[in-house]
């Protein structure tokens, strides 16, 4: 009888282990499904919640300085496309910079804050430029350019590689959010 009891106990133990193993596999499978569904929902939401709008790439061709190109940029200011070999340096500029230099900076992960204060009262124009400069300085000017863009449709345009956001007045929070999302995310990583 002791033999039958040991056999029954061993059989019961194997059954418990089989059920535990089955339960663990079910928990693991359920956890993986929940994680996959969560990732499938949250990742696109996170990408959709990124500031600005996506602009299709027009390539990364380098062209000699002064050379014209046949590609018409698909945004104003441009967010990609043919550009000169040297890039524009970070800073706050009083004069426009040719697109060929700015696009190269975008390729290096810069964010460019372009502004058009044409037609504004002088005091309002100076205030706008000063507020944009302050934001850039607060960000240590790292991979940032503030530059005038006369003739631009919008008062302010934020650009990064294949991203653009436009606004009619300075929105510091929105500008900082754009910088945070897109600075140093260009296709060609550089230290400067």
Distances (CA, A) of 180 to 17, 85, 130, 148, 169: 52, 26, 20, 22, 19
* Distances in whole angstroms, Cα of residue 62 to Cα of each of 59, 77, 109, 143: 9, 18, 16, 20
Cβ–Cβ under 8 Å, residues 82 and 116 = no
pLDDT tens column, 61-113: 999 998 887 889 999 999 999 999 999 999 999 999 999 999 999 999 999 99
* Rounded distance between C-alpha atoms, residue 34 and residue 20, angstroms: 21
- Rounded Cα distance between 71 and 178, Å, is 27
pLDDT in tens, 26-72: 888 888 787 777 777 665 545 556 899 999 999 999 999 988 878 89
Q: Where are the alpha helices (DSSP H) in 61-159?
A: 99-107, 122-138
Q: What is the pLDDT of residue 80?
A: 98
The pLDDT mean for the chain works out to 91
Residues 6 or more apart whose Cβ sits within 8 Å of residue 50:
163, 181, 182
Q: How is residue 135 annotated by DSSP?
A: H
Phi, psi of 100 (to 5 degrees): -55, -35
């Amino acid at each position: 009888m002791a033999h039958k009891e040991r056999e029954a106990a061993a059989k019961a133990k194997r059954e418990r282990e089989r059920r535990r193993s089955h339960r663990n596999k079910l928990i693991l499978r359920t956890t993986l499904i929940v994680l996959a569904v969560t990732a499938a929902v949250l990742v696109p939401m996170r990408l959709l919640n990124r500031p600005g709008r996506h602009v299709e790439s027009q390539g990364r061709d380098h062209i000699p300085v002064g050379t014209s190109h046949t590609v018409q940029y698909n945004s104003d200011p441009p967010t990609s496309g043919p550009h000169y070999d040297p890039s524009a340096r970070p800073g706050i500029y009083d004069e426009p910079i040719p697109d060929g230099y700015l696009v190269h900076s975008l390729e290096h992960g810069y964010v460019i804050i372009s502004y058009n204060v044409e037609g504004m009262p002088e005091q309002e124009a100076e205030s706008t430029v000063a507020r944009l400069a302050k934001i850039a300085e607060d960000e240590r000017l790292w991979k940032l350019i503030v530059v005038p863009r006369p003739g631009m449709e919008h008062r302010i345009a934020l650009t990064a590689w294949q991203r653009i956001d436009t606004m009619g007045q300075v929105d510091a929070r929105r500008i900082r959010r754009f910088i945070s999302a897109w600075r140093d995310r260009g296709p060609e990583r550089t230290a400067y």
